[in-house]
Structure 1
C-alpha cells in the first residue's frame, strides 16, 4: 500500500499546528500523551494504530499510551516473547520499518504470532530521545503490507521529540512522587523506631527487628506498620513468643 499523495503534508501540518497550539495553551502539569499519540496516529496517511512503549532500567516494559486495544495486544505480545520492533526501537537509534511481518526475520516468533493473532502486517517504530537510562518508542501498525514509506517515516520522526518531552515530564513527576513517598516512609519508620526504643528501652536495631517481626506476623508492609505506630503511639503487635516452636 502506497502513501497518499504528498499533498497530505498540508493536512499533517494543520494537525501539528493544532496540537502545538493545544499544548502551548495547556494549564495542566504536562503534555497529554494520550492526545498526542492520537494526533500522531491520525496524521498518518495510512490506516494505522499506535502505541507508546516505555522501558525503565530494572523494570519490565510497559505500554504508557495506546490508541486502541489492538495496539495494546501488539505491545503485550512483544513483552511476552521479549522481541519486536517496539522493544528494538527503544534500544537502537534507527530501525527500518517492517514491511511484511509474514516474511519478517528479525523477530520471528513475534512476527508470526502478531499476524496470526491481530492481522497486522507492517509496523514502524521510532525511538524517543529520553534522558538517563530510560528508553521508549512510538510504534505504528497497519493491517496492510508496506504501509510505511518515506513520508510516514518522516512524520513519525516529527512526533518523536514531542512525545519524548511528554514522557520525560511524566516520568519526572512520577519520580518526584515516589521520592516524596519514600521520604515520608523513612520519617515514619524513624519515628516508630524512636517510640519503640522509648517504650521497650531497646536499641534502634532491636526496635527495627520488632517492626520486621510485626510486619511478617501481620503479612503487611513494614512502612504501613511504622505509619500506624508513628500516628497512634501504640506498640505494633508481635507474634507470640512460642510461635516459632
Structure 2
C-alpha cells in the first residue's frame, strides 16, 4: 500500500485528482475500512477534498453541518480519534445519533494529517461494523497512511499552485502580446506614440465596458482580416 501511494503522480495534475487516487489506495489498505475520505481545514472550516465511498462523504458532511465531530476535531486538535460503537459513544451526541441513522456507520477512525508541526486535516475511515478499527493493525496502517497523505497533500498543493502560477503567467504574457500588437497598429494608423496608443485602448475599454485585452484583440483581428 505504501509503495502504491509513493507512486502517485503529482506533476500536471490537480490536487483533487491526486487525492482521489490517495483515498482509493487508503480505502483498500486500512483494515476495517469500508469508506475513506480526506478532510482538509481552511480557516477552521472543513471540507472533503476526496472520498472513496458515499458513506464517507455523507458522514463528513454531517460533521460540517454541526461544526464539530471526530474528523473535524482530529484535524483541529492533531489527535487520533476512534469511535468503536456509535450506539454508545457520548462525545458527539448529535452527530453519532444522526450518522448511525442516516448512513449506517457504527465505527470510525480519524487520523490527523501532520504538516510542519501542525495539522492540516484528517484521514477518515468508516465502517458499518462496531469496533472495526480496534486492532493494532488498523491503527498502525491509519497512522502510516496519514503521514504519507500529509506529504502528498503538501506536495500536490505546491505543484498545483506552481502550475496555476505558470498558467496565469502564460495568460498574462499572451494578453500583453496582444495589447502590444494593438498599440503598434494604432501607432501606425493614427501616428501616435506608445503611451497615446495605450490611452486609446484604455478609453475604449471603459467606454464599451470590455476588457482591455478584448479591445486589443479586436483591433488586431480587424487588421489581419484586411
RMSD: 3.8
Give 1:78 shift.
Answer: 1.9
Determine whether 1:232 maps to 2:226: no
Q: Which residue of 2 aligns with 1:142?
A: 127
- Cα gap change, 1:233 to 1:63, in 2 (>3 Å): farther
Evaluate the alpha carbon distance shift between residue 28 and residue 175 of structure 1 in structure 2; reply closer, same or farther with a 3 A threshold.
Answer: closer
Give the superposition deviation at 1:129. Answer: 1.7
Select 1:214's aligned residue among 209, 212, 222: 209
Partner Cα separation in structure 1 for residue 154 and residue 22 of structure 2? 14
* 1:19-168 equivalence runs, <5 A: 19=4, 23-24=6-7, 29=11, 32-57=18-43, 61-131=46-116, 135-151=120-136, 152-168=138-154
Per-residue deviation at 1:184? 5.6
How many residues are paired up?
A: 203
1:85 to partner: Cα distance = 1.4
Secondary structure, aligned partner of 2:157: helix
How far off is 1:87 after superposition?
Answer: 1.4
Q: For 2:91 and 2:171, how far apart are their aligned partners in 1?
A: 46
Cα distance, 1:182–1:61 mapped onto 2, change above 3 Å: farther
Partner SS, residue 61 of structure 1? strand
Deviation at 1:146, TM superposition (A): 2.2
CA deviation after TM superposition for structure 1 residue 127, in Å: 0.9
Structure 2: tracts of 5 or more residues without a match: 184-194, 221-226
| TM-score normalized with structure 2 length | 0.70
| Conserved? CA contact 2:34–2:53, under 8 Å | no
Assess, with a 3 A threshold, how the Cα gap between structure 1 residues 228 and 39 changes in structure 2: closer, same or farther. Answer: same
User: d(CA) in 2 for partners of 1:232 and 1:132?
Assistant: 52
Report if the CA contact (8 A) 2:9-2:18 is conserved.
Answer: no
| Kept after mapping to 2: 8 A contact 1:51/1:72 | yes
User: Can you give the 5+ residue segments of structure 1 that lack an aligned partner in the other structure?
Assistant: 1-14, 216-224, 235-245
Deviations 1:1-30 (A, max 9, x none): xxxxxxxxxxxxxx445x26xx34x66627
Closer, same or farther in 2 for the Cα pair 1:107/1:186, shift >3 Å?
A: farther
| TM-aligned CA deviation for residue 119 of structure 1 | 0.9
**1:169 aligned onto 2:155:** yes
C-alpha displacement of 1:157: 0.4
Deviations 1:134-183 (A, max 9, x none): 71210001112222214111210011111112211221122223334555
Alignment pair present for 1:179 and 2:165: yes
For residue 230 of structure 1, report the CA deviation from its aligned partner. 4.2
Structure 1 residue runs of 4 or more that deviate by more than 4 Å after TM superposition? 131-134, 181-189, 199-202
